[in-house]
Amino acid sequence: MSGRTRARARPERTCVGCRERSGKGDLLRVVLIEDRCVPDHRGTLPGRGAYLHPTPTCVDLAVRRRAFQRAFRVPGPLDTAELQQAVPRATP
């Protein structure tokens, strides 16, 4: 028994902000509704999803890198206001 055989089948996703892999439960699913990036807190909205750490830093990174355009395969600018409101602010 090496101890490595029982790898947990825990689904992992890559954060579109910082590009680090995390368990699905640690990431916020984001779906595209028209041209709006909408947080899918319950994971029930249909459509292609992007995954993101629910932090202002990762939202910011994703927006700057146009990661949502890439994830959703759309060319235009996207409205991320709802998403930015959904993540807790890092208040000092």
Q: Could you list the residues that contact Zn ion (CB under 5 A)?
A: 15, 17-18, 53, 58
The conformational region for residue 26 under phi > 0 = left, psi -120 to 50 = alpha, else beta, is alpha
- CB 47 → Zn ion: shortest distance, Å? 21
Pick 18 or 45: Cβ nearer Zn ion:
18
Nearest approach, Cβ of residue 36 and Zn ion (Å): 20
Which CB atom, from 22 or from 76, has the smaller least distance to Zn ion?
A: 22
Asked if 25 and 38 count as a contact pair (C-beta separation under 8 A), the reply is: no
Burial class (CB in 10 A: 0-12, 13-18, 19+), 22: middle
Q: How far is 25 from 42, CA to CA, in rounded Å?
A: 11
CB of 58 to Zn ion, least distance (A): 3
Q: Name the residue nearer to Zn ion (CB basis): 14 or 69.
A: 14
